[in-house]
Structure 1
Amino acid sequence: MTSFSKQLSLRWSDLDPNFHVRHSAYYDFGAQHRIEILESLGLTMKVLQTNHFGPILFREECIFRKEIGLSDTIFIHTKISKMRPDASRWSIVHEFKNEEGKLCSTITVDGAWMDTTLRKIANPTPAIAMEAMSSIPKTADFIEL
């Protein structure tokens, strides 16, 4: 697998007054895709709650390159671009591409794992999170932190 990918289903409510996808919808699509990936790797909401940890973000940035409209066919492709060996800190990249494969936008997020009981960065990273994160495809320019 080269990336986690899926076709997006655009809704009327995802549009802004200019009839293209509003900026905040991109972030919603990225967040949803990250949760779907974690779920597919066994990090379900139940597992996260039972083990008292979850993902947190330090930074989220989107670069917009091409407008996306309601009738466009768009795919989101997700990979890890940076990660510590223990998966305690990481960066994830989401690329939004149209059906011709042209890049429409890129979201980059930097994150870590939080102990939800202590409300602090989880140290050490739960083994189940380290295993899941290690199985996510890496970008061509992946950097080990």
Structure 2
Amino acid sequence: MTSFCKKLSFRWSDLDPNFHVRHSVYYDFGAQHRIEILESLGLTMKVFQALHFGPVIFREECVFRREINLSDSIAIHTKVSKMKPDSSRWTIVHELRNDEDQLAATITVDGAWMDTKLRKLVNPTPKAVLDALSIFPKSEDFTTL
């Protein structure tokens, strides 16, 4: 698998006064896609609650390349571009591409894992988390942190 990929559909409420997709919608699609990916890997909200463990974001940035309109056909492609060897810190990149494979936007997210009881950063020790992260598709320029 080269990336997690999903076709997006836009709603009227996703548009700004210029009739293209609002900037904050891009971030919402990235966040939703990350959660769907984790769920597909077995890391459901129930698992995170039971383990008192979950992802936390340090930085989220979007670079806009071309407008997206209501009727555009866009897919979001998600990969890990950086990760510590112990998977404790990571960078995930989402690319939003049209049917001609033209890049519309790139969302980059830096994050880590948090113990939700202690409210502090931790290394992912549950085997389910480590197994899931090991199969997460990596970008062509993947590097270790």
TM-score, L = length of structure 1? 0.97
Q: What is residue 7 of structure 1 aligned with on the other side? A: 7
Q: What is residue 44 of structure 1 aligned with on the other side? A: 44
CA contact (8 A) 2:14 2:22 kept: yes
Aligned length: 145
CA-based RMSD of the aligned residues comes to 0.9
Q: What is residue 56 of structure 1 aligned with on the other side? A: 56
Q: What is residue 130 of structure 1 aligned with on the other side? A: 130
Q: What is residue 31 of structure 1 aligned with on the other side? A: 31
Q: What is residue 18 of structure 2 aligned with on the other side? A: 18
Q: Structure 2: state its 5+ residue gaps.
A: none
Q: Structure 1: state its 5+ residue gaps.
A: none
CA contact (8 A) 1:113 1:125 kept: no
Q: Deviations over 1:5-29 (max 9, x none)?
A: 0100111111111110000000000
Q: What is residue 77 of structure 1 aligned with on the other side? A: 77
Q: Deviations over 1:86-128 (max 9, x none)?
A: 1100000000000110000000000000000000002354332
TM-score, L = length of structure 2? 0.97
